[in-house]
């Protein structure tokens, strides 16, 4: 069985379990952890995860953040200066992080999201080198009503996650969903 099929099967088991209501926001986060080399394969199969979610009786709301930095930069008044001197952009990246955080918060708090909704974030790899995923996730976890599924191209060991298998990003209470191990 391929990694994709194993991931879908593991996710199907998770999303089909009864959901506890008294969890903290951080405990409502699921990281779908997969080899970064499979990013395009995963993107091609996202609909299978949506199907599993709906089959389990839950709603699905997707957020693709892949192009958010490009859109933010295109609208930034100092974009030309940043292209000439990228090292000057560091302080502006805090604004990007806040803009992205507000976008995701708007979705999590939207009227289409309730306690039975899986809000899904794809495109996390696009943040690499710009901001830390943890900087965004730490600010949004208290607004999660149902579950937050983060497609995570990287690795997980213990409570540490490595986006794109680079440096250890952070220790986190999220529940990892992996192909080989299924339910943790």
End-to-end CA, the chain: 19
- Are 156 and 38 spatial neighbours (Cβ–Cβ below 8 Å)? no
What are the structural domains of the chain? Answer: 3-17+26-177 (3.40.50)
Query: Global pTM?
Result: 0.90
Nearest in space to 163 (alpha carbons), one of 179, 150, 173 = 150
Cβ-based burial of 10 (10 A; exposed 0-12, middle 13-18, buried ≥19):
buried
- The CB density around residue 144, as the number of other CB atoms within 10 Å, is 22
Q: What is the pLDDT of residues 63-78, one digit of tens each?
A: 999 999 999 988 888 7
Q: State how far the Cα of 172 lies from the Cα of 143, in Å rounded to an integer.
A: 17
Q: What is the pLDDT of residues 10-49, one digit of tens each?
A: 999 999 999 998 999 989 999 999 999 999 999 999 999 9
């Amino acid at each position: 069985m391929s990694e994709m099929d194993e991931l879908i099967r593991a996710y199907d088991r998770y999303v089909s379990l009864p959901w506890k209501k008294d969890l903290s926001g951080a405990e409502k986060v699921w990281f779908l952890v997969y080899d970064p080399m499979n990013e395009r394969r995963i993107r091609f199969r996202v609909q299978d995860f949506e199907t599993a979610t709906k089959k389990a009786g839950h709603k699905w709301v997707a957020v693709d953040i892949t192009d958010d930095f490009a859109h933010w930069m295109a609208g930034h008044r100092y974009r030309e200066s940043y292209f000439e001197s990228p090292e000057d952009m560091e302080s502006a990246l805090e604004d990007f992080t806040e803009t992205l955080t507000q976008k995701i918060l708007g979705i999590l708090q939207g009227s289409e999201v309730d306690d039975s909704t899986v809000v899904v974030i794809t495109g996390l790899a696009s943040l690499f080198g710009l901001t830390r995923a943890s900087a965004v996730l730490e600010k949004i976890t208290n607004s999660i009503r149902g579950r937050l599924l983060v497609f995570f191209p990287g690795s997980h060991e213990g409570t540490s996650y490595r986006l794109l298998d680079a440096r250890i990003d952070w220790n986190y209470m999220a529940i990892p969903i992996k192909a080989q191990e299924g339910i943790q």
